[in-house]
């Protein structure tokens, strides 16, 4: 909402004269946040009012004229392009050479110069409003009355007076960010009322002489008005004016409208705009000659059409409220007028409508049609139900003042039953408890009265505010005041929030008891509390060298397909774009895209992880009405291991496996990594986004799925312009279950005696896995603990086909004594023999 | 009476040998690059066939009264030789060590950086916020991101079909179930917690929320942290106390807060909260710096949070008795705080995962 400081001052009539900063602070402090202040109408004081003394022809150019003007003490002769429009005595605006002026469309001021026209120099220029940045009007600006566009209410200023003073052009426009609960402040009157509260001035509601209006309404002369939808429109005024002359509004009106961001159109339309700007109450003017018979406020019939003022044909539904005459719709109630009954230049008779439309219906129609107007903005927030009376009076006054004409008839229709504002019971002790400290009761009473509330006295003989329960009746323009707490807020905001100093509340018991008496089915799935665990996992990933990514949960449908992840995605009804139209089913698409971006910036290596939620369509058989949400941890490694001192080689499956193992070890130290099951996907159970031969499903000892890890399928990598990439995705629910099964680590005693190792290189069939070899080693009956470490692998020319050479270090450890070399040799020999027999290995 | 040994020129053959051996010991060790050679040369003095042994053997041939003195002189020579040898040996060791230490490295070469990662700035801020609120007595609660319209709006006292819902323009989800959307705030978690727990309770709920906005300062997905405190006799001054404590422990002990009336359907009264600008530090009373501050645009205040006393209608919706319980709630944008703290001007950077961005935090 834009508000003119000048207008607010006129309406509020404050006892003091606060600065624009003080006004802004006052309004912000009351909850009407002033977001910006713009100074308008600043004009170089060199630009002054002049009076035409004589008009003569130009010596050589018949189209031009020489105009002599008095500029105060002096006079100058100017060349005019429109001498025929001027007459002696006209009061014009002159910018002399050297004056700085800024056109309404210009980004910076220009300096006025003396220019020559067909041999005659013209010192400076006669100005239009647009040349001075005041409105879009390019007509010469005339200040004296009696001319079209002149202002007959302004006494003629003295020539030589700076125009800035003569026309009071300077103003400040306050940009107020109104919250939707304050429709009363959607007009200058409401804002002025708040200023009066803050600056302790009694507020005088602008008064209109409405006697003739009410007298007319009592006669049967007016146009008949039928309220066929009394719930949606309980009050309706229709006033008919005759003898109206449509034309441009006066300069001050046009300037005010322009500075408030409203385009001046014609005096009648401008007058209706002034009504909502002033009162926050929309009114509408029809050309009375284009309204046939009676006015009917009714719902549309399905499929009925109406051409609105914006030249669009609207197809209506049965919930849209209409203003219709005896033949057809003439306006979309509370949203926009109809084209056919529009006020035009030839209009002489006007019907002015002022009504109350209930918010929900207006909002529904405005939303459905995507038609948001100043009128709908106000009605859907709830205007003053008693407001139409002010609005029609104000509208009549503005129209007759700007366009002439006379009131000929008026009709007021209202529904039989009217919603009465009820009074609110306020418990004063409860109010004090909510505020945290008591307030002075006199102040509280004053605040309520200033807001327009009345305090009703239920007990005879007692002053209204003496008791502990007050009955407060809010004014009709504050539909937001409904409960005790709303009244408490009024006290607090007027007294000022700074009045209430902070106190820490009493400590809360560390654990509060779950009730679980709510229906769990309704609540949907319970979300495990993962925040603390997330912290440990994230810390571990960072210590493993990964950067944390946070990606949008919505992705393009095509991104899922491209990454070959599940496509049973939850779809948005109203996405902002196709690129973000479905919820991710995997963290892979987001990480691939981020890595792709990273490599574009010449990164050799990108290691990212993300802790995030994935979404799958709801399981139709489940109680939960919501989609399935799971928290996952995923990581993606792309590029080479090398750096400046070491030759690189691309990351591979084993880098990924190492990350999974280290992560689990770091987050669940007591977890035995050997119980983790790694399974190569079967031919039928391939994971589409993984390399079929370099990936694995990961599960716990009981076969519960924990996730998967592997090399991204070369085709998927290529689709994202990536060299080979390694990816792992773990389901946090599974990992949490693992964690709950593991206690804190218990210390394994450190060995007191040295261990003994033997290195061995064996040729082994490629089909035999290291795990099988390891098992075989652990089977043989040796009384000592043994560990096996792979330290080299060779496949190639020197090796027989179908075989590979692997080098192992086998370490023997007896916790109770140092091993004797010959015992180790003997045991090791047995072990070798066993491997030869069991697995067919050969020694090199 | 002077002994002849003390008198130059009056020396016998023994004295002459002592003097020349002393001379020889000064030079003979020099330049030797090998420890064995040093020891061999040392033996020419001190070995079984060395000159000192030889001199000792000659002592009996000296006059009786000079023998003692002769012995002392030989001992002195012996010590002298040892000293020369030790020095030479130490020098040799030192030279060897210097050689072994080699030339100095070019310390301007790049360090070999162990692989290091970093937490996302939003995570860092979230964790800090949660830590601060934990010490103030709040528990962390989480909930689903796709939720019922009912929990997101109706239960929070949003009037049906009211422009207040436009403040949080929602993404709806296609479903055959009741009206479902991506939560527009984490207050849905508060509703769920209150439906499943008895008061009193104090929770904060961090998490992603979604609104249909997309520009330099608005992202369609962003991070929020909301807090809720419900107990008997909770007042506005308590809310303010918690906000004061939060601002001071999170932003710094001098940072004060300012509350301005505002409107959120689920609170009454409601407020917007500003903190004193942490860039121009108005508490240091440098008016010029504040006037020129681009972050707070000269106001000295930064808006960071919305809050208020829980609307009694919310309590009615979750089955709490508003006559018995009261509470306060607040919500802050984690992105906003991260952007302020790290001076990030484009919110989209937070969700692009550009490593050049991520590694700066
Ligand atoms: Zn600042």
**pLDDT tens digits, residue range A754-805?**
999 999 888 999 888 888 888 888 888 888 888 889 988 888 888 888 889 9
- The span from the CA of A299 to the CA of A322, in Å, is 6
Q: What is the mean pLDDT of residues B28-48?
A: 91
Q: What's the gap in Å between the CA of B97 and the closest CA on chain A?
A: 27
Quick: pLDDT tens for B254-285. 999 999 999 999 999 999 999 999 999 999 99
Of B112, B172, B240, the CB nearest to A572: B172
| C-alpha A78 chain-centroid distance | 54
Q: What is the mean pLDDT of residues B233-249?
A: 95
- The span from the CA of A133 to the CA of A258, in Å, is 10
- Ligand 1 centroid – CA B274 distance (Å): 12
Instruction: Please give the radius of gyration of chain B, using alpha carbons only, rounded to the nearest integer.
Output: 44
Q: Evaluate if residue A26 carries a pLDDT over 70.
A: yes
- Ligand 1 centroid – CA B222 distance (Å): 24
- Ligand 1 centroid – CA B276 distance (Å): 8
Q: What's the gap in Å between the CA of A698 and the closest CA on chain B?
A: 25
Provide the β-strand partners of residue A806: A762, A793
- Ligand 1 centroid – CA B258 distance (Å): 14
pLDDT-derived band at B163 (thresholds 50, 70, 90) equals: confident
Quick: pLDDT tens for A723-743. 889 999 999 999 999 988 888
Strand bridging mode B139-140 / B201-210: parallel
- Ligand 1 centroid – CA B288 distance (Å): 10
Select from B340, B119, B351 the least CA-distant residue to B222.
B351
Lowest mean pLDDT segment, chosen from A485-489, A824-828, B113-117, B136-140:
B113-117
Quick: pLDDT tens for A230-264. 999 999 999 999 999 999 998 899 999 999 999 99
- The span from the CA of A8 to the CA of A489, in Å, is 24
H helical segments located in A676-820: 714-719, 732-741, 770-779
pLDDT-derived band at B3 (thresholds 50, 70, 90) equals: very low
Question: What is the CB neighbour count within 10 angstroms for residue A712?
Answer: 31
pLDDT-derived band at B2 (thresholds 50, 70, 90) equals: very low
A181 touches chain B (CB under 8 A): yes
Q: What is the pLDDT of residue A643?
A: 60
B214 touches chain A (CB under 8 A): yes
Question: What is the CB neighbour count within 10 angstroms for residue A151?
Answer: 19
B225 touches chain A (CB under 8 A): no
B355 burial type by CB count under 10 A (0-12 exposed, 13-18 middle, 19+ buried)? buried
Percent above pLDDT 90 for chain A: 66
- The span from the CA of B276 to the CA of B254, in Å, is 9
- Ligand 1 centroid – CA B307 distance (Å): 22
- Ligand 1 centroid – CA B295 distance (Å): 5
- Ligand 1 centroid – CA B333 distance (Å): 19
Q: Evaluate if residue B221 carries a pLDDT over 50.
A: yes
User: DSSP character for A174?
Assistant: E
pLDDT-derived band at A156 (thresholds 50, 70, 90) equals: low
Q: Is the CB of residue A570 less than 8 Å from the CB of residue A643?
A: no
Q: What is the pLDDT of residue A465?
A: 67
Q: Evaluate if residue A526 carries a pLDDT over 80.
A: no
Q: What is the pLDDT of residue A529?
A: 65
- B141-171 core/surface letters (b: 16 or more CB in 10 A; e: else): bbbbbbbbbbbbbebbbbbeebbbbeebebb
Q: What is the pLDDT of residue A531?
A: 84
- A54-65 core/surface letters (b: 16 or more CB in 10 A; e: else): ebeebeeeeebb
- The span from the CA of A488 to the CA of A491, in Å, is 5
Which residues on B lie below 8 Å from A597 (Cβ)? 352-354
Quick: pLDDT tens for A644-686. 666 678 889 999 999 999 999 999 999 999 899 999 999 888 9
- The span from the CA of B115 to the CA of A734, in Å, is 28
| C-alpha B135 chain-centroid distance | 21
3-state helix, strand and coil shares in percent for chain A, rounded to the nearest 5: 30, 25, 45
Q: State the Cα torsion A614-A620-A622-A624 to the nearest 10°.
A: 60
Quick: pLDDT tens for A310-346. 999 999 999 999 999 999 999 999 999 999 999 999 9
Q: What's the gap in Å between the CA of A369 and the closest CA on chain B?
A: 15
Q: What is the pLDDT of residue A509?
A: 67
Q: What is the pLDDT of residue A797?
A: 81
Q: Which segments within A316-357 are labelled E, that is strand?
A: 321-324, 329-332, 336-337, 350-356
- The span from the CA of A520 to the CA of B217, in Å, is 38
User: DSSP character for A793?
Assistant: E
Q: Considering only residues 179 to 198 of chain B, which have any Cβ-Cβ distance to chain A shorter than 8 Å?
A: 180, 182, 192, 195-198
Q: Evaluate if residue B215 carries a pLDDT over 90.
A: no
pLDDT-derived band at A523 (thresholds 50, 70, 90) equals: very low
Indicate yes or no: CB of A576 within 8 angstroms of CB of B212.
Answer: yes
What ipTM does the predicted assembly reach? 0.87
Indicate yes or no: CB of A503 within 8 angstroms of CB of B145.
Answer: no
CA distances from A441 to A424, A447, A470, A474, B236 (A): 17, 10, 11, 18, 19
Q: Evaluate if residue A266 carries a pLDDT over 70.
A: yes
pLDDT-derived band at A520 (thresholds 50, 70, 90) equals: very low
Q: What is the pLDDT of residue A723?
A: 85
Q: Which two tokens stand for residue A31?
A: 């909850």
CA distances from A514 to A505, A698, B147, B311 (A): 22, 35, 21, 23
Of A364, A497, A507, the CB nearest to B271: A497
Q: What is the pLDDT of residue A515?
A: 44
Q: What is the mean pLDDT of residues A87-115?
A: 91
Which residues on B lie below 8 Å from A514 (Cβ)? 196-198
Which residues on A lie below 8 Å from B142 (Cβ)? 527-531
Q: What's the gap in Å between the CA of B227 and the closest CA on chain A?
A: 14
- The span from the CA of B97 to the CA of A356, in Å, is 101
pLDDT-derived band at A642 (thresholds 50, 70, 90) equals: low
In sequence order, which residues have a C-beta less than 8 Å from that of residue A483 and are 6 or more positions away?
Answer: A424, B268, B312, B313
Q: Evaluate if residue A125 carries a pLDDT over 60.
A: yes
Q: What is the mean pLDDT of residues A16-27?
A: 93
Q: Is the CB of residue A55 less than 8 Å from the CB of residue A65?
A: yes
B212 touches chain A (CB under 8 A): yes
Peptide bond into B200 cis (omega under 30): yes
In sequence order, which residues have a C-beta less than 8 Å from that of residue A352 and are 6 or more positions away?
Answer: A237, A238, A239, A240, A241, A272, A283, A284, A285, A392, A395, A396, A399
Which residues on A lie below 8 Å from B123 (Cβ)? 538, 548, 550
B208 touches chain A (CB under 8 A): yes
Q: Is the CB of residue B205 less than 8 Å from the CB of residue B189?
A: yes
Q: What's the gap in Å between the CA of A347 and the closest CA on chain B?
A: 36
Provide the β-strand partners of residue A583: A554
Q: What is the pLDDT of residue A155?
A: 57
Q: Evaluate if residue B355 carries a pLDDT over 50.
A: yes
H helical segments located in chain B: 13-28, 35-46, 51-58, 64-101, 121-135, 149-152, 187-196, 236-251, 287-292, 312-318, 334-342, 355-358
Q: What's the gap in Å between the CA of B261 and the closest CA on chain A?
A: 4
Q: What is the pLDDT of residue A524?
A: 42
- The span from the CA of A753 to the CA of A676, in Å, is 30
Strand bridging mode A171-177 / B139-140: unpaired
Q: Is the CB of residue A186 less than 8 Å from the CB of residue A178?
A: yes
Q: What's the gap in Å between the CA of B303 and the closest CA on chain A?
A: 12
Lowest mean pLDDT segment, chosen from A121-125, A725-729, B174-178:
B174-178
pLDDT-derived band at B149 (thresholds 50, 70, 90) equals: very high
- Ligand 1 centroid – CA B339 distance (Å): 14
Q: What's the gap in Å between the CA of B270 and the closest CA on chain A?
A: 8
Among A497, A515, A613, A620, pick the best mutation site for testing chain B contact (most B Cβ within 10 A).
Answer: A497
Among B173, B222, B270, pick the best mutation site for testing chain A contact (most A Cβ within 10 A).
Answer: B173
Q: What angle do CA A75, A77, A79 make, to 5 degrees?
A: 150
How crowded is the C-beta side of B206, counted as CA atoms within 13 Å? 24
Select from A446, A392, A453 the least CA-distant residue to A424.
A453
pTM for this predicted structure: 0.86
Q: Evaluate if residue B91 carries a pLDDT over 80.
A: yes
Q: How many CB pairs under 8 A join A and B?
A: 283
Q: Evaluate if residue A166 carries a pLDDT over 50.
A: yes
Select from B325, B347, B326 the least CA-distant residue to B336.
B347
Q: What is the pLDDT of residue A522?
A: 41
Q: Which two tokens stand for residue A387?
A: 């407001």
Q: Evaluate if residue A150 carries a pLDDT over 60.
A: no
Q: Please state the φ and ψ torsions of residue A259, each to the nearest 5 degrees.
A: -70, -20
A621 touches chain B (CB under 8 A): no
Q: Considering only residues 63 to 122 of chain B, which have any Cβ-Cβ distance to chain A shorter than 8 Å?
A: 110, 112-120, 122
3-state helix, strand and coil shares in percent for chain B, rounded to the nearest 5: 45, 20, 35
Indicate yes or no: CB of A608 within 8 angstroms of CB of B220.
Answer: no
Helices (H) and strands (E) counted in chain B, each on its own, are 12, 9
Q: Evaluate if residue A435 carries a pLDDT over 80.
A: yes
- Ligand 1 centroid – CA B343 distance (Å): 12
Which residues on B lie below 8 Å from A29 (Cβ)? 260-261
Q: Considering only residues 131 to 160 of chain B, which have any Cβ-Cβ distance to chain A shorter than 8 Å?
A: 136-137, 139-148, 160
- Ligand 1 centroid – CA B351 distance (Å): 27
A532 touches chain B (CB under 8 A): yes
A661 burial type by CB count under 10 A (0-12 exposed, 13-18 middle, 19+ buried)? middle
Strand bridging mode A350-356 / A235-242: antiparallel
Lowest mean pLDDT segment, chosen from A226-235, A601-610, B253-262:
A601-610
């Amino acid at each position: 909402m834009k508000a003119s400081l000048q207008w607010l001052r006129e309406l509020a009539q404050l006892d003091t004269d606060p600065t624009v900063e003080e006004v802004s602070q006052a309004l912000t402090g009351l909850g009407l946040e002033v977001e910006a202040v713009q100074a308008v109408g600043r004009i170089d004081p060199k630009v002054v009012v002049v009076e035409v003394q004589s008009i003569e022809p130009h010596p050589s150019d018949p189209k031009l004229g020489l105009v002599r003007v008095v500029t105060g003490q002096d006079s100058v002769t100017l060349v005019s392009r429109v001498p025929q429009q001027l007459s002696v005595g006209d009061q014009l605006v002159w910018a002399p050479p050297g004056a700085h002026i800024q056109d309404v469309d210009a980004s910076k001021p220009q300096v006025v110069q003396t220019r020559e026209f067909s041999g005659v120099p013209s010192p400076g220029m006669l100005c239009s409003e647009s040349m001075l940045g005041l409105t879009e009007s390019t007509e010469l600006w005339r200040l004296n009355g009696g001319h079209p566009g002149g202002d007959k209410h302004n006494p003629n200023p003295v020539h030589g007076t700076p125009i800035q003073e003569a026309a009071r052009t300077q103003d400040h426009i306050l940009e107020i960010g109104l919250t939707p609960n304050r429709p009363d402040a959607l007009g200058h009157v409401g804002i002025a009322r708040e200023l009066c509260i803050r600056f302790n001035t009694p507020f005088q509601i602008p008064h209109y002489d409405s006697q003739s209006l009410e007298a007319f309404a009592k006669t049967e002369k007016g146009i008949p008005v039928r309220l066929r939808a009394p719930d949606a429109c309980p009050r309706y005024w229709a006033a008919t004016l005759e003898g109206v002359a449509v034309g441009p509004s006066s300069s001050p009106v046009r300037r005010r409208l322009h500075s408030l961001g409203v385009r001046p159109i014609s005096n009648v339309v401008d007058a209706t705009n002034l009504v909502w700007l002033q009162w926050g109450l929309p009114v509408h003017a029809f050309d009375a000659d284009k309204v046939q018979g009676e006015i009917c406020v009714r719902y549309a019939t399905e499929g009925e059409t109406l051409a609105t003022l914006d030249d669009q044909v609207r197809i209506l539904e049965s919930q849209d409220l209409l203003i219709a005459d005896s033949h057809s719709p003439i306006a979309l109630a509370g949203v926009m007028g109809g084209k056919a009954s529009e006020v035009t230049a030839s209009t002489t008779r006007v019907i002015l409508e002022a009504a109350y439309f209930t918010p929900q219906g207006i909002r529904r129609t405005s939303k459905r049609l995507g038609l948001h107007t100043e009128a709908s903005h106000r009605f859907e927030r709830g205007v003053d139900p008693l407001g139409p009376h002010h609005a029609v009076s104000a509208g009549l006054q503005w129209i007759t003042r700007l366009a002439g004409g006379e009131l000929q008839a008026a009709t007021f229709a209202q529904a039989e039953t009217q919603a009465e504002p009820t009074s609110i019971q306020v418990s004063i002790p409860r109010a004090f408890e909510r505020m945290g400290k008591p307030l002075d009761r006199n102040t509280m009473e004053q605040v309520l009265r200033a807001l327009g509330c009345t305090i009703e006295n239920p007990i005879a003989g007692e002053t209204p505010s003496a008791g502990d329960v007050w009955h407060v009746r809010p004014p009709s323009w504050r539909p937001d005041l409904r409960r005790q707490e709303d009244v408490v807020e009024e006290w607090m905001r007027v007294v000022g929030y700074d009045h209430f100093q902070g106190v820490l509340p009493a400590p809360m018991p560390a654990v509060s008891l779950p009730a679980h008496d709510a229906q769990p089915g309704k609540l949907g799935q319970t979300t495990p509390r993962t925040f603390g665990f997330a912290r440990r996992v994230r810390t571990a990933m960072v210590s493993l060298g990964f950067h944390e990514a946070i990606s949008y949960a919505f992705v393009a449908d095509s991104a899922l397909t491209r990454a070959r992840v599940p496509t049973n995605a939850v779809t948005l009804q109203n996405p902002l774009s196709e690129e973000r139209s479905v919820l991710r089913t995997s963290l892979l698409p987001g990480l691939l895209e981020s890595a792709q971006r990273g490599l574009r910036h010449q990164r050799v290596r990108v290691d990212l992880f993300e802790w995030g939620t994935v979404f799958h369509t709801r399981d139709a058989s489940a109680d939960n009405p919501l989609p399935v949400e799971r928290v996952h941890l995923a990581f993606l490694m792309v590029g080479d291991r090398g750096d400046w001192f070491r030759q690189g080689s691309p990351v591979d499956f084993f880098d990924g496996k190492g990350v999974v193992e280290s992560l689990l070890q770091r987050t669940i130290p007591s977890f035995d990594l050997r119980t983790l099951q790694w399974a190569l996907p079967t031919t039928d159970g391939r994971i589409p986004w993984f390399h079929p031969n370099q990936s694995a499903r990961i599960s716990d000892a009981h076969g519960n799925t924990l996730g998967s890890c592997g090399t991204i399928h070369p085709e998927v990598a290529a689709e994202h312009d990536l060299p080979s990439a390694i990816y792992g995705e773990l389901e946090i629910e599974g990992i949490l279950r693992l964690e709950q099964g593991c206690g804190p680590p218990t210390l394994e005693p450190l060995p007191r005696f040295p261990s003994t190792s033997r290195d061995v290189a064996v040729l082994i069939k490629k089909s035999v896995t290291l795990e099988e070899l390891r098992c075989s080693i652990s089977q043989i009956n040796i009384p000592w603990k043994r560990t096996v470490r792979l330290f080299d692998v060779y496949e190639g020319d020197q090796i027989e086909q179908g075989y590979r050479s692997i080098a192992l270090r086998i370490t023997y450890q007896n916790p109770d004594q140092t091993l004797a070399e010959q015992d180790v040799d003997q045991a090791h020999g047995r072990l070798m023999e066993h491997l030869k027999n069991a697995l067919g290995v050969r020694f090199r | 009476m002077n002994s002849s040994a003390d008198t130059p020129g009056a020396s016998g053959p023994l004295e002459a040998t002592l003097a020349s051996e002393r001379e020889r010991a000064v030079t003979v060790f020099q330049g030797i690059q090998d420890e064995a050679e040093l020891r061999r040369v040392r033996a020419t003095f001190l070995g079984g066939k060395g000159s000192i042994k030889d001199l000792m053997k000659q002592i009996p041939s000296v006059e009786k009264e000079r023998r003692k003195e002769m012995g002392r002189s030989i001992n002195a020579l012996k010590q002298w030789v040892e000293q020369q040898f030790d020095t030479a040996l130490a020098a040799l060791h030192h030279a060897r060590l210097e050689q072994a230490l080699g030339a100095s490295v070019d310390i301007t070469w790049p360090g070999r950086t162990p692989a290091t990662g970093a937490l996302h700035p939003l995570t860092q801020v979230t964790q800090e916020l949660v830590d601060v609120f934990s010490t103030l007595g709040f528990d962390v609660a989480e909930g689903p991101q796709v939720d019922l319209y009912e929990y997101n709006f109706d239960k929070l006292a949003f009037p049906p079909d009211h422009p207040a819902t436009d403040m949080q323009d929602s993404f709806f989800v296609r479903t055959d179930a009741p009206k479902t959307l991506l939560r527009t705030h984490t207050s849905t978690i508060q509703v769920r917690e209150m439906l499943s727990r008895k008061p009193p309770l104090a929770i904060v709920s961090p998490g992603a929320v979604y609104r249909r906005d997309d520009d330099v300062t608005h992202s369609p997905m962003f991070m929020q942290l909301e807090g809720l405190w419900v107990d008997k006799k909770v007042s506005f001054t308590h809310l303010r106390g918690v906000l004061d404590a939060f601002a001071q422990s999170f932003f710094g002990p001098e940072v004060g807060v300012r509350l301005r009336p505002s409107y959120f359907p689920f609170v009454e009264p409601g407020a917007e909260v500003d903190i004193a600008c942490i860039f121009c530090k108005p508490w240091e009373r440098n008016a010029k710096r504040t006037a020129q501050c681009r972050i707070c645009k000269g106001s000295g205040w930064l808006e960071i949070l919305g809050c208020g006393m829980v609307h009694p209608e919310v309590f009615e919706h979750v089955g709490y008795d508003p006559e018995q319980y009261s509470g306060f709630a607040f919500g802050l944008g984690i992105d906003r705080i991260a952007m302020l703290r790290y001076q990030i001007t484009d919110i989209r950077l937070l969700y692009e995962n550009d490593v050049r961005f991520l590694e700066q935090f």
